[in-house]
Amino acid sequence: MDKGFIKSKINIPKVKDKIVKREDLFNKLNEAINYKLILVTAPAGFGKSTLIASWLNFNIKNKCFTAWLSLSERDSEAIVFWKYVVYALDKIKEGIMENSILAFNSFQFKSSFDTEILAVILNNLDELRKDLFLVIDDLYMIDNKEIYEQLKFFIRNVPPNVHIVIISRAVPDIGISKLRATDNMLQLSQKDLSFTQKEIETFFKEVMDVDISNGTLNILEERTEGWAVGLQMAGLSLKNTKNEETFLNGFKGDHRYVLDYLMEEVFSLLDRETQDFLMKTSILGEMNSDLCNRVTQIKNSQELLEKIDTENLFMIPLDENKEWYRYHHLFKEFLGNRRAVAMEDILPELYNGAAEWHKENGFYDEAINFYIEAKNYDEARIIIEKIDMDLMFSGDMKKVYDWCMKIPKEMFYDRPRLCMNAAWFKCASGDYKASDNYLKCVEQSLKLQIDEVDVKYFFTEIMIIRGMLAILERDITKIKEYADKAKDYGNKHNILKAANALLKGTAAIYEGDVKAAAAFYEECLEISKNIDNYYTASIANRSLIISKMMRGKIYEAEKQCIDLIEYLTKRHVINIPAAAAIYNDLADIYYEWNELDKAVEWVKKALELAKKGEVNWILCASYMTLAKIFFAGSNIEDALKYLSKSETYRINDKLFDVKLEFLRVKANLHLRSGNFEGVENLINNDIFNCLTKFNIAYSYYYLTKVRYLIFKNALAEAEILIISLSETFEMRKVNKALAEALILKSIICEKKGNTTEALEVLIKAINISYKEKYLRIFLNEETHLKEFILSKSTKLQALLKKEAQSFLNQIIENFNNKINIMEKPAYLEILSVREIEVLKYLQKGLTNLEIAEALFVSVNTVKTHLLNIYTKLDVHSRTEALTKAKEFGIF
């Protein structure tokens, strides 16, 4: 070997004792035997070399020849490069590359390289009788275009048993398009090399010997995006920091380990133009060339974006055409840290440029955020006031409120529109005091207003919010008073008219007139749909569902939900947070029918959207629904776990009676599980002692009190209460509540020894229930009802109509076949609702594009879902995914 040559450069890197065996990637690489070129490209630190070295060590070294060459910038002379290639190959078996070495040492090639030498090397390789994998590591270090042209020739002409593995940060210009088109190349990219959640868990436990919680694991997966070096840095930090929360707060792009690595390995190696471009564009979440040109005030952004993408500088394409990009999370934070130091003086200019581009292109949300970053609050305020009502009543009240809170106080309190936005949000959150304070600020500002139309509009809005606040106090007189004051002017503005109808409907419910309430809710829903006001449409729909459920019209309630879902789907807004309420209503409907699998499916959709929009009252209601479902499935432990989760979201959510609903569900679960501790305090809540005033609005709370009295064996008191309730429910025609009351009355009669009356009352309950299939109200009383029904089933059958007999059989069948929801398919916990949807479209044979169109997402998003599905189900293709899905029972 020539003097000056470094032997270690042709050694295969040693694999550490502790390493994550990446079996999924190994399986992909095992297909390399069929390809001329295996190209592994990703940014620095994604474990490219470690992956290939471990694959060679575990899967290849005993079956094939292996050779390795690690490059540096000093190897950019062709003669040096190819000599290293030959010496690496000769290490396979001494003398095997003898002709090539002799050629290099000849006078003709001693001082310069000639392409004829490639023929000699190829001829030497043709003599091999086993497959060979030649790894060329860090090819991006080579800046000699001639070498890339020589490599292109070399790869195209290697014998069939020779496979070239190239590891590089950048995609090399070696004719890969033709190799790909002729199916002669296997490629792994950043997306492939990113660690999966399972691999991350293994890495921390087995390699770093660090035990972390699932919550921290999920956060690190999101923050590092599977970046191997990022995970290693996190592991080192966690070893030195016992407190996970403290670590997570500090582990960002400005973390000392991350900062040092990216500075040394990536940023400092770039030219000044690229560094400036990266720092300036790092203010953007997503970017294209036009936006980058505006922010950076240059004209060649497209060229720079393509260069950064080709060189794998932690940039991620967001579409197949590579028009939109984003930066890796940690790299973006690193660039932001550099930008804050190097470009402090021009930051407002950058943010304003981004804001103007987004405003001109109709992306108002982003424009507001950038104007706020630029401290250009006046421009931000103008856009907020332009779009606030549309956004708020499409379910984005919190977003508008957060913007308002970022406006300086002196400007905020001078603008009645901004204060009104804050009042709406605080009202919807159930915060009476804060909402009232904001309304007083609006009223003060209106004294200085000259425009009479504006003053009247604001006055109407104030009256409606005060009416909503009166709901918090359950004051019917005030609700009606404010609704009347808002009526005249509100009729001229559809959004206010819809909100007013909602107020009147709530007042009617409190007065016990369910039919009148339904009419008002129908009016609100119709107006909201006509003006595409999705938030009030969803709330009106929920109010209608509640009134229909009270009246026992469950099939109508189901249709009501499905119709609104179709309406939102046609307008491409089915994923707004407010739609979570519809999904939770559907879950409740299927719970009443004891279709627990369907109920779980819908409630998980509700949780997904409610989390996205931080809608606490829906999160609270949805976890309550899950608690009821799991309790019905005999999983008391999980039921109480979800009930506890529900309670964490209960703060200030009085507007939708979430607190009282929670108390009722909690009391029922504890009563039915035989746990009376604390139930007495729940039952003796003031709301249960206002029977004459709230007998319809809170019918289920009084039924819970009756149930408590039965468990306590206070039958006389229970009987007096249930007779009063039954009469009221029958008079008001709230059939489901009536059926539930009759079931409890039957239990009381049976416990008192009056079997004949118990049967008569039970038959009446069944006759009311069978058409709408109120199954759960019978099954929930299993402790007291099962033995009685089973012992009297023959007599009951004889006294019931044919359809009612069938319903009774369903009750008996469910009593005898208790479902344990923990035995239901594991996919409910493994896959998200959207991933299950994608699987179902796969079953129909849809392409990625067709699935994207069906779900109203990008093709790239569909690919991400597919990757997640493959990872979670431990499969590698559509066919395998569908097979595993069938095993789970997803279809």
* pLDDT one-digit tens code per residue, 710-743: 988 899 999 999 998 899 888 888 899 899 999 9
Residue 204 lies in a domain: yes
Residue range 672-691: average pLDDT? Answer: 66
Predicted confidence (pLDDT) per residue in 262-310, tens digit? 776 677 878 899 999 999 999 998 899 999 999 999 999 999 998 888 8
Predicted confidence (pLDDT) per residue in 787-813, tens digit? 999 999 999 989 898 889 999 999 998
Amino acid symbol at 415: R
CA distance 575 to 615: 13
Unique residue bearing structure tokens 């559809």: 494
Average pLDDT for the chain: 83
Residue 555 has pLDDT above 90, yes or no: yes
CA distance 176 to 186: 10
CA distance 870 to 876: 6
**How would residue 112 be classed by pLDDT, with cut points 50, 70 and 90?**
low
Nearest to 284 by CA among 322, 243, 325: 325
CATH number assigned to the domain comprising residue 179: 3.40.50.300
Range of the domain at 82: 7-193
CATH number assigned to the domain comprising residue 719: 1.25.40
State which of 575, 593, 611 marks the end of a domain.
611
Question: What CA–CA distances, in Å, run from 215 to 114, 140, 224, 258?
Answer: 59, 37, 14, 21
Nearest to 762 by CA among 792, 732, 783, 733: 792
Residue 751 has pLDDT above 70, yes or no: yes
Three-state SS at 737: helix
Q: Are the CB atoms for 401 and 421 separated by under 8 Å?
A: yes
Residues 736 and 833 in one domain: no
| Range list of β-strands (E), 555-652 | none
Cα-flanking dihedrals φ and ψ of residue 856, to 5°?
60, 45
Predicted confidence (pLDDT) per residue in 394-432, tens digit? 667 788 899 999 999 989 998 899 999 999 888 877 788
Residue 232 lies in a domain: yes
CA distance 596 to 589: 10
The C-alpha torsion from 163 through 168 and 172 to 177, rounded to 10°, is: 60
Q: Residue 695 has what pLDDT?
A: 47
Q: Are the CB atoms for 438 and 422 separated by under 8 Å?
A: yes
Q: What angle do CA 873, 877, 879 make, to 5 degrees?
A: 90
User: What percent of the chain is modeled with pLDDT above 70?
Assistant: 88
Residue range 138-163: average pLDDT? Answer: 91
Three-state SS at 39: strand
Residue 644 lies in a domain: no
**How would residue 823 be classed by pLDDT, with cut points 50, 70 and 90?**
very low
Residue 350 has pLDDT above 90, yes or no: yes
Residues, the chain:
891
Residues 719 and 857 in one domain: no
Q: How many Cβ atoms from other residues are within 10 Å of residue 700's Cβ?
A: 17
Residue 822 has pLDDT above 70, yes or no: no
Residues 763 and 703 in one domain: yes
Residue range 438-459: average pLDDT? Answer: 83
User: What percent of the chain is modeled with pLDDT above 90?
Assistant: 29
Residue range 690-713: average pLDDT? Answer: 72
State which of 782, 803, 822 marks the end of a domain.
822
Residues 6 or more apart in contact with residue 547 via CB below 8 angstroms: 505, 509, 514, 517, 518, 521
More confident residue, 390 or 157: 157
CA distance 429 to 390: 18
CA distance 804 to 651: 43
Rg, Å, the chain Cα set: 34
Q: Residue 825 has what pLDDT?
A: 42
Residue 39 has pLDDT above 50, yes or no: yes
Residue 417 lies in a domain: yes
Three-state SS at 105: helix
Residues 511 and 585 in one domain: yes
Nearest to 141 by CA among 53, 68, 77: 77
Residues 455 and 430 in one domain: yes
Question: What are 472's two structure tokens?
Answer: 């918090």
Residue 641 lies in a domain: no
CA distance 478 to 463: 10
Predicted confidence (pLDDT) per residue in 510-533, tens digit? 787 888 888 999 999 998 888 888
Residues 490 and 571 in one domain: yes
Residues 107 and 131 in one domain: yes
Residue 734 lies in a domain: yes
Q: Residue 767 has what pLDDT?
A: 94
| Range list of β-strands (E), 561-669 | none
**How would residue 360 be classed by pLDDT, with cut points 50, 70 and 90?**
very high
Q: Residue 276 has what pLDDT?
A: 93
CA distance 733 to 515: 9
Three-state SS at 136: strand
Residues 469 and 502 in one domain: yes
Residue 317 lies in a domain: no
Nearest to 382 by CA among 350, 355, 422: 355
Q: Are the CB atoms for 167 and 131 separated by under 8 Å?
A: no
Q: Residue 827 has what pLDDT?
A: 44
Q: Residue 820 has what pLDDT?
A: 47
Residues 782 and 864 in one domain: no
Q: Are the CB atoms for 317 and 325 separated by under 8 Å?
A: yes
Q: Residue 356 has what pLDDT?
A: 95
Residue 438 has pLDDT above 90, yes or no: yes
The C-alpha torsion from 140 through 145 and 150 to 154, rounded to 10°, is: 30
State which of 173, 193, 213 marks the end of a domain.
193
Unique residue bearing structure tokens 């009256």: 463
Residue 304 lies in a domain: no
Q: Are the CB atoms for 87 and 1 separated by under 8 Å?
A: yes
Residues 784 and 864 in one domain: no
Q: Are the CB atoms for 244 and 212 separated by under 8 Å?
A: yes
CATH number assigned to the domain comprising residue 510: 1.25.40.10
Residues 872 and 843 in one domain: yes
More confident residue, 2 or 707: 707
Residues 93 and 233 in one domain: no
Q: How many structural domains comprise the chain? A: 5
**How would residue 227 be classed by pLDDT, with cut points 50, 70 and 90?**
confident
Residue 824 has pLDDT above 50, yes or no: no
